[in-house]
Every structure is written in C-alpha cells, then in structure tokens.
A and B are shown apart, each in its own frame.
Chain A
Amino acid sequence: MTQQQMDRLDRLVEDYLGAVSYACADLDPQRRDELIDELREHIAAAREALHEQTEAAIRTILDRLGEPAAIAEEAGIGELPRRPVPAAADTSSPARRSSSATLGMVLGFMLLVIIILVVASLLVMSEPPPPVVRP
C-alpha cells in the first residue's frame, strides 16, 4: 500500500471523528475529547486485526461504530443514579435530616417572634391608658 493510499484511509477515520466531535458540540469539551480518544483507540485496535487495510474494511469499522448523531445522543444522556445500593442510600438521610432540621429551626424562630409580638401587644393594650393631660 502506498503512503498516499494510507493517508487516504487515515483521512476517512479523521473525517468520521470530526463528524462525531461536531455532533457532540454541546458536550463538555473534556468529555468530548475523551470520547474521541476512545473512538480513535477503538478504530486503531480494529484496524490492527485487519488482514488488509482496504477502504472497504475501514468503512465497515466506521459503519459499525454508527451514526455520529446516535453517539452524540447517547453521550447526552444524564448521569447514572449515584446511590444504587441500599447501604449507600443511607448516606442521603443525614443530608435530608439536616435540611429538615434547618427548616424546623427557621419555623421555630418565626413562631417565637410571633409569640413575642403577640405578648408585647397584649401588654401594651392591658396597660392603663396614660393620664390625659388637660390644659
């Protein structure tokens, strides 16, 4: 195989990776680079297994990887559940407890303020009216 033919095959691969990168434009750049690296490694490993580096064989490898849009869609899927096991699920309770404790403290404080205001206004009303100063 001539260098020119080899360059042509490499360009096919780079064009494909470029299309995936473009389709993943919305992805975090670091994750996009990582994805492209892994795809490049996949293609390199698949090419190592080829008896002959032909354009048809390279195209088959790329076809099997699939449409750039399909890969981009999969890459856009959110995180996995962070707490998959019951033991790990317990770690969420203290956080929830502390947030409900904060809420309780705020409500308690507001109730205290209301009580003080009510008591104070009752005291003011129960005081005898100030003597009226007549001229």
Chain B
Amino acid sequence: MEGWTGLATALRRGTLEFCVLALLETESRYGVELVTQLAAQNALTTSEGTLYPLLSRLRRAGWVATTWQESPSGPPRRYYELTSQGKEALAHFRSEWVAFRTAVDRIIGTELT
C-alpha cells in the first residue's frame, strides 16, 4: 500500500462503480455532469478521465446504456442511463454494503450510536 493515496484508491475500487450507478438512478446524465457530481464528494475524487474506462466497464456489464440527446449548445451529447440489470446490481450492492460497513464499523469501533 503506497501511503494514504493508495488506501483511498483501494477503498474507491469496487465502490465507485456503484456510486456512478446510484447517480444514474433517477436520471440519465452526460459525462461532464457525472464528473461534477462525483467531484462534489471529496473522498471520491479521482482524475476525471478515469471515469470513462469505468463507464465502459459498466456498459460491457450491461448495467449502463448510452443514448444521444440534443444539447442546448453545441453537438448532441452521449447520455449514460441505468439499465434494469444495473438497477438490480445497485440493489444488490446496497445490501452487501450495509452488511460490510456494519461489520467493519463493529470491529474498528466506528459504529454510530
């Protein structure tokens, strides 16, 4: 583990995908919009360009689909939207996450009282 940066990267890995799915849960978004939403959470901040390989994985897993939508200014934009499989994956992650978080909190003493 290469210091604290490495820790943050390791924690993000495996969770960021599902944060992206959650951001797409209520509405489809285009890339810059997703990046802005993620950047609002400091703990999740990573270089913006890495979002696109991540979106590519989500697309290949069938969890996210892309559509083209007109932009008020400039050329049409690629929008990312959650598929029904993506919704299932997110629901599954939510229950796994709660169990995982609870177990870690109990052991390391960070339970909310």
Q: A-side interface residues toward B, CB under 8 Å?
A: 20, 31, 34-35, 38-39, 41-42, 44-46, 48-49, 64-67, 70-71, 74-75, 77, 79-82, 84-88
Checking A46, A48, A75, A88 against B53 with a beta-carbon cut-off of 8 angstroms, the contacting residue is: A75
**CB <8 Å contact, B48 and A64:** yes
**A interface SS class:** helix
Residue of A nearest to B13 (CB): A77
Quick one: given A45-B74, A85-B88, are A70 and B31 in contact (CB under 8 Å)?
Answer: no
User: A-B contact count, CB below 8 Å?
Assistant: 85
A80 touches B61 (CB 8 A): yes
**Also in contact, A75 and B32, with CB within 8 A (given A42-B48, A66-B49, A70-B47):** no
Q: Which residues of A contact B92 (CB under 8 A)?
A: 84-86
Quick one: given A42-B31, A45-B32, A79-B60, are A71 and B47 in contact (CB under 8 Å)? yes
CB distance from A88 to the nearest CB of B (A): 7
